[in-house]
Amino acid sequence: MGENSSVNLPPGFRFCPTDEELVVHFLQRKAALLPCHPDVIPDLELYPHDPWELDGKALGEGNQWYFYSRRTQNRITGNGYWKPMGIEEDVINNRSKKVGMKKYLVFYIGEGPAAIKTNWIMQEYRLSKSDSSSTKSSKRRGHSKDYSKWVVCRVYERNCSEDEDDGDDDDDGTQLSCLDEVFLSLDDMDEISLPFN
């Protein structure tokens, strides 16, 4: 993985924000047109880019990439598309108040039913409805862009490899863990004939 030249953090500093920090410190400030220090997360139109092309374009830390993007339903890239996994979680602050939402998406290569599920995952953070209404004051100040439509994204590649023909395309949001997959594969061992001594 190459070095991300757009980040100017001192040696030894790492970017590993919590969900709350991504929403409250970064996304809320961007939506309200307030400065964010350090201003390290770039704006990126995600959907022309495949996830493996993010290095050098988005803020990279380890095997994760962070960027702001406009919220859109069109999640099609040059080689595939991002499909919602059916999982949405509340982002709660330290006072137990809901400050945003986190949606999970998985990247598929190809189109339609012939598409192949990959291990690329995106967590898309958006403001909750009450927080996005605070950006109306910024529109009154003469800014033409609607910053409540911004999301902050975290993209990473899962290490756990899944069988592509396991048929877990259920939209109920459940997925098997790596350990579950190992145990299920042991059931297939019954079908293998071993020579007896």
| 169, amino acid identity | D
Strand 150-157 relative to strand 116-127, pairing: antiparallel
Q: Would residue 36 count as lying in a domain?
A: yes
Q: Is residue 77 part of a domain?
A: yes
Q: Which DSSP letter does residue 98 get? A: E
Domain limits for position 78: 19-130+147-156
Q: What CATH number does the domain containing 43 carry?
A: 2.170.150.80
103 lies in some domain:
yes
Domain count, the chain: 1
Q: Is 2 within the bounds of a domain?
A: no
Strand order in the sheet with 116-127: 59-61, 64-70, 150-157, 116-127, 98-109, 80-92
* pLDDT tens profile 121-132: 999 999 987 654
Indicate if the pLDDT at residue 81 is higher than 80: yes
3-state secondary structure of 156: strand
Predicted confidence at residue 174, as pLDDT, reads 46
Domain membership flag for residue 42: yes
* DSSP, residue by residue, 107-142: EEESSGGG-EEEEEEEEEEEE-HHHHGGGHHHHHTT
Q: Would 13 be classed as within a structural domain?
A: no
**Nearest one of 115, 105, 102, 124 to 175, comparing CA atoms:** 105
Residue 102 located in a structural domain: yes
pLDDT tens digits for 83-106?
999 989 999 999 999 999 999 999
In terms of Cβ atoms closer than 10 Å to its own Cβ (0-12, 13-18, 19+), residue 51 is buried
Q: Is 91 inside any structural domain? A: yes
Q: Which residue has the higher pLDDT, 184 or 39?
A: 39
Q: Is the pLDDT of residue 146 over 50?
A: yes
